[in-house]
Amino acid sequence: MSNVMIIYPYTFSVSVSCLIQLKYPPYISSNIPFLGHAVAFGKSPIDFLENAYEKYGPVFSFTMVGKTFTYLLGSDAAALIFNSKNEDLNAEDVYSRLTTPVFGKGVAYDVPNPVFLEQKKMLKTGLNIAQFKQHVPVIEKETKEYFKSWGDSGERNLFEALSELIILTASHCLHGKEIRNLLNEKVAQLYADLDGGFTHAAWLLPGWLPLPSFRRRDRAHREIKNIFYKVIRKRRQSGEREDDMVQTLLDVTYKDGRSLTDDEIAGMLIGLLLAGQHTSSTTSAWLGFFLARDKSIQEQCYAEQKAVCGEDLRPLNYDQLKDLNMLDRCLKETLRLRPPIMTMMRMARTPQTVAGYTVPPGHQVCVSPTVNHRLKDSWIESLEFKPDRYLQDNPTAGEKFAYVPFGAGRHRCIGENFAYVQIKTIWSTLLRLYEFDLIDGYFPTVNYTTMIHTPDNPVIRYKKRSH
């Protein structure tokens, strides 16, 4: 197909002589006005992208709901996003309409990127090894407590359970005991309403529309902030110090010496919880299903618990957690096959050159970890769950962005280490408690309708271990 400017849906002001030389990425046209490829993409985004990769190569564009997307597939093409400046490929332009109503003003994508980078640094100071050492017993205790209601055997929705549990563990570890103790059913509902702000509708539709889900999100935002304000003000007034994230954020300052306001702290606490909530609960659920599907791997993970922590399986600690290499590899492989963030996106503000093409301003430029993680050019037996592939030399050596479940560059995740601590502690506890099986061999299909691709009908069978 032709890449000549005249057929291209975007224009920008460059001289005609220059236009003739520009080569735009292959454009996958559609006969459907406005919606474009939205239906085919929405039904099965990975198939859509993989087919396009086969046909057009690593860089191509298409239109959905009036927006033109350019995907950069494979490690080399993806480098453009990860190495770019935020002024050129901008994150706020695409994420802020989703995140600002949920986290609030003054934080994350509502502020210029250099300010957000400072905020990320502040949050990172509270995510250190000394903290992780305290988190492990907290998460183990919360998990044991939560799963008491599962009894000795049964069939239950694993994803639902892990989502509920992870609000408790993440709030306890990332907010502190004081805020965790305020978590009851009403507050959990507020989080659910707030989380309801992360939908395709919120991303696509104007924020002023009087939709019930928008109103619930905005009310939940105000109410959760009020809860946080009380804790922050009490802490400020009493002068009492705790060893938690609230304290870290009360103590830190921006480079210019300014302290965080109560509103910024509250927004950062919301962001911290929600950034890790869906990502970690989906990953944990998929991990459970991979282990249930391959009983030999599950038994190796259980044997590893005994080998590392002792036959009597005493309470876990952080150092042991680090030595659980098999579980580590299983988690790594789960993040390869089911990375919760399927697409990272930026708005092209300036023309960008990649693989000999020019991507014009106005395109939403995307990288998909899901596709990169399964490219046959990069991975052997790419669709198989094979945790031992990481025992060999780096399977994708030389391809810097072949494995990017946590992103890379200036927008890289700050929660990776915490996510590993949390998920490995939860699964260590669960492996010690139960043996898991698929029900009649059913391994969940992927639900593509949610922003983070969750497992469909994620019910699992379990029975108590006799040890």
Q: What is the longest distance spanned by two Cα atoms in the chain?
A: 77
Residues 414-453 that bind ligand HEM (CB under 6 A): 414-415, 418-419
Looking at 260, 344, 421, 430, which residue binds ligand HEM (CB under 6 A)? 344
The residue among 352, 368, 358 whose CA lies nearest residue 88 is 352
Spatial neighbors of 59 by CB under 8 A, at least 6 apart, are: 25, 26, 70, 71, 72, 73, 77, 354, 355, 357, 359
Q: How far is the CB of 2 from ligand HEM (least distance, A)?
A: 32
Instruction: Select from 40, 77, 246, 272 the one that contacts ligand HEM (CB under 6 A).
Output: 272
| Least separation in angstroms between CB 117 and ligand HEM | 7
**DSSP β-ladder status, 27-28 and 59-64:** parallel
Q: How many angstroms separate the CA atoms of 205 and 211, rounded?
A: 10
- Using an 8 Å Cβ cutoff, are 434 and 466 in contact? no
Span from 20-28, 35-43, 212-220, 277-285 in contact with ligand HEM (CB under 6 A): 277-285
Buried b / exposed e over 133-143, threshold 16 CB at 10 Å, is eebbebbbebb
- Residue 411 binding ligand HEM, by CB under 6 A: yes
Strands 153-157 and 89-90, by their bridges, are unpaired
Strand 454-455 to 446-447 pairing: antiparallel
Q: Verify binding: residue 283, ligand HEM, rule CB under 6 A.
A: yes
Question: Does the footprint of ligand HEM cover residue 340 (CB under 6 A)?
Answer: yes
Choosing from 52, 111, 139, 275, the residue that interacts with ligand HEM (CB under 6 A) is 275
* Residue nearest to ligand HEM as judged by C-beta position: 415
Helix, coil or strand: residue 346: strand
Question: Which residues from 29-68 bind ligand HEM, rule CB under 6 A?
Answer: none
Binding range to ligand HEM, per CB under 6 A, among 71-79, 225-233, 234-242, 409-417: 409-417
By CB under 6 A, residue 406 contacts ligand HEM: yes
Q: Does 187 bind ligand HEM (CB under 6 A)?
A: no
> Residue 341 CB, nearest distance to ligand HEM (Å)?
4
- For residue 187, the Cα-to-chain-centroid distance in whole angstroms is 22
Please report how close the Cβ of residue 443 comes to ligand HEM at its closest, in angstroms: 20
Q: How far is the CB of 229 from ligand HEM (least distance, A)?
A: 21
- Residue 407 interacts with ligand HEM (CB under 6 A)? yes
Closer to ligand HEM by CB, 3 or 447: give it: 447
Q: List the one residue out of 319, 107, 272, 258 whose CA is nearest residue 176.
A: 272
Continuous segment of H or E residues that includes residue 187: helix 185-195
DSSP 445: P
Minimum CB distance to ligand HEM, residue 155 (Å): 26
Would you say 390 or 406 has its CB closer to ligand HEM? 406
Of positions 26, 58, 104, 405, contacts ligand HEM by CB under 6 A: 405
- Ranges of H-type helices in 84-184: 92-103, 113-125, 129-147, 158-170, 177-180
The alpha helices in 261-323, defined as continuous H runs, are: 262-293, 295-309, 318-323
**Strand pairing category for 27-28 and 67-72:** unpaired
Is residue 120 close enough to count as binding ligand HEM by CB under 6 A?
A: yes
Q: List Cβ neighbours of 396 (8 Å cut-off, separation of 6 or more).
A: 75, 378, 379, 402, 403
- Using CB under 6 A as the binding rule, the residues of this chain from 78 to 117 that contact ligand HEM are 91
Give the closest residue to 450 by CA, choosing from 216, 208, 89, 196: 196
Q: Is 413 annotated as a binding residue?
A: yes
Q: Is the Cβ of residue 326 or residue 365 nearer to ligand HEM in the bound state? A: 365
Give the range of 35-43, 59-67, 149-157, 275-283 binding ligand HEM by CB under 6 A.
275-283
Closer residue to ligand HEM, CB minimum distance, 26 or 101? 101
Q: Answer for the pair 57, 382: CB distance below 8 angstroms, yes or no.
A: no
Candidates 276, 288, 360, 458: give the one binding ligand HEM (CB under 6 A). 276
Q: Where in 156-175 is the site for ligand HEM (CB under 6 A)?
A: 174
Measured between alpha carbons, how far is 343 from 398 in angstroms, rounded to an integer?
A: 22
Whichever of 19 and 451 has its CB closer to ligand HEM, that residue is: 451
Per the annotation, binding residues for heme are: 413
What is the contact surface with ligand HEM in residues (CB under 6 A)? 91, 120, 174, 272, 275-276, 279-280, 283, 339-341, 344, 405-407, 411, 413-415, 418-419
